[in-house]
């Protein structure tokens, strides 16, 4: 069931669109990430949903009720911002109880709920500490507990992990995901980190310049990006400018590959310039003979990043550079200067439209 629906929402600041005709449905119980580069309008869209910003046009409904003009404090949404905005003069328990106090919940219920939430965030022994005496990760958990204390109808998280170091951030991503699934609370999270979005989201909304570029499950977007912007933004990718030539495509430098399958009616005409996307893990590196494999290119290894569990290799293919992901087991002894063959299996090659010039 769809809970939150945005109908043709725009937000203009002066003459510029921060949010440009956005239509979106957020399904019940799912975690949706707004993902995009700095300035693409993620926070503005989130603030419109929160009620902290009024759209210039368009509307939003929640469970069928129009919320467009309903103020933030009457929406019953829980929020966690990048700054966390915890009250420094209050203890952990007082911070968590704050939304319950605002609602004039009786003190016995408040105490029970706070105890429950402290258990849930695994900080029951820190109830009486000031939040200034907590670590970044602990503060993070308190902010989430406070946001969900009053059982909000929707949880909004705006870059809540950006102040944490990489390791803690990854651990908190898992915690947020498990908590969200356990509570089944519909959640929207803003992030500019594609890895974070891939880890957490049921659905990712990729934005650029105020517009939604693609909405989909993380792996669907990774495998089938609709355009060059999305392909480039989600994951590592080799995006090569190629030209169609009959049933082949010509790569920079002149090597050729078989024309990848295109959805019906979308095969490029001969001479047309398009982009070829192939993910590094799909590039198959051969260090010996060329073998019988088709779609195989000559190249020379120009860089090897071997981190033990995996190898990232850069291959100069006479006119362009490929990044390949492999393992020490698959390609033992791979080193800079080594001549190799790179197989680009036809099923892993995707043609996508070139990014329109800005």
The 21-60 contact track toward ligand ATP, x by CB under 6 A, reads: ---------------x-xxxxxxx----------------
The answer to whether 280 contacts ligand ATP (rule: CB under 6 A) is no
Which C-beta is closer to ligand ATP: that of 81 or that of 98? 81
Q: How far is the CB of 13 from ligand ATP (least distance, A)?
A: 3
Q: How far is the CB of 47 from ligand ATP (least distance, A)?
A: 8
Tokens, residue 247: 């049933």
Q: How far is the CB of 46 from ligand ATP (least distance, A)?
A: 8
Q: How far is the CB of 189 from ligand ATP (least distance, A)?
A: 12
Ramachandran angles phi, psi of 29, nearest 5°? 80, 5
Which C-beta is closer to ligand ATP: that of 54 or that of 327? 54
Of 287, 290, 282, 271, nearest to 339 by C-alpha is 287
The answer to whether 83 contacts ligand ATP (rule: CB under 6 A) is no
Distances in Å between the Cα of 142 and the Cα atoms of 79, 91, 159, 179, 219 are: 12, 10, 16, 13, 31
- Using CB under 6 A, pick the residue from 7, 12, 153, 192 that binds ligand ATP: 192
Q: How far is the CB of 44 from ligand ATP (least distance, A)?
A: 3
The answer to whether 276 contacts ligand ATP (rule: CB under 6 A) is no
Q: How far is the CB of 200 from ligand ATP (least distance, A)?
A: 16
Q: How many CA atoms lie within 13 A of 312 on its CB side?
A: 9
Which C-beta is closer to ligand ATP: that of 203 or that of 282? 203
CA distance 60 to 5: 6
Which C-beta is closer to ligand ATP: that of 19 or that of 315? 19
The answer to whether 285 contacts ligand ATP (rule: CB under 6 A) is no
The answer to whether 73 contacts ligand ATP (rule: CB under 6 A) is no
Report the b/e string of 120-154 with b at 16+ CB within 10 A.
bbebeebeeebbeebeebbbbbbbbbbbbbbebeb
Residues that bind ligand ATP (CB under 6 A): 13, 18, 36, 38-44, 192
């Amino acid at each position: 069931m769809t809970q939150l629906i945005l109908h043709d929402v725009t937000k203009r600041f002066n003459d510029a669109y921060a949010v440009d005709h956005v239509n979106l449905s957020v399904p019940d119980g799912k975690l949706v990430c707004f993902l995009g580069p700095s300035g693409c309008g993620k926070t503005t869209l989130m603030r419109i949903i929160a009620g902290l910003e009024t759209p210039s046009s368009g509307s939003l409904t929640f469970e069928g009720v129009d919320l467009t003009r309903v103020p933030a404090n009457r929406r019953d949404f829980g929020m966690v911002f990048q700054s966390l905005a915890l009250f420094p003069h209050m203890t952990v328990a007082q911070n968590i109880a704050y939304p319950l106090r605002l609602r004039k919940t009786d003190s016995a219920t408040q105490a029970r709920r706070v105890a429950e939430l402290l258990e849930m965030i695994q900080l029951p022994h820190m109830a009486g500490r000031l939040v200034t005496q907590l670590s970044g990760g602990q503060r993070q958990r308190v902010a989430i507990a406070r946001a969900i204390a009053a059982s909000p109808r929707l949880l909004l998280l705006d870059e809540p992990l950006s102040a944490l170091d990489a390791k803690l951030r990854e651990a908190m991503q898992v915690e947020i995901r498990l908590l969200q699934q356990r509570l089944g609370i519909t959640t929207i999270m803003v992030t500019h980190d594609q890895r974070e979005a891939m880890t957490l989201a049921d659905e990712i909304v990729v934005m650029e310049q105020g517009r939604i570029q693609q909405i989909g499950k993380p792996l669907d977007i990774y495998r089938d990006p609709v355009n060059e912007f999305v392909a480039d933004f989600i994951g590592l990718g080799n995006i090569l400018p190629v030209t169609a030539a009959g049933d082949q495509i010509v790569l920079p430098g002149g090597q050729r590959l078989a024309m990848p399958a295109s959805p019906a009616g979308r095969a490029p005409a001969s001479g047309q310039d398009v982009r070829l996307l192939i993910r590094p893990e799909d590039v198959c590196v051969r260090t010996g003979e060329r073998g019988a494999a088709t779609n195989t290119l000559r190249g020379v290894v120009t860089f090897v990043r071997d981190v033990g569990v995996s190898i990232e290799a850069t291959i100069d293919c006479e006119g362009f550079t490929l990044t390949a992901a492999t393992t020490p087991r698959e390609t033992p002894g791979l080193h800079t200067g080594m001549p190799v063959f790179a197989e680009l299996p036809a099923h892993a090659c995707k043609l996508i439209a070139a990014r329109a010039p800005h």
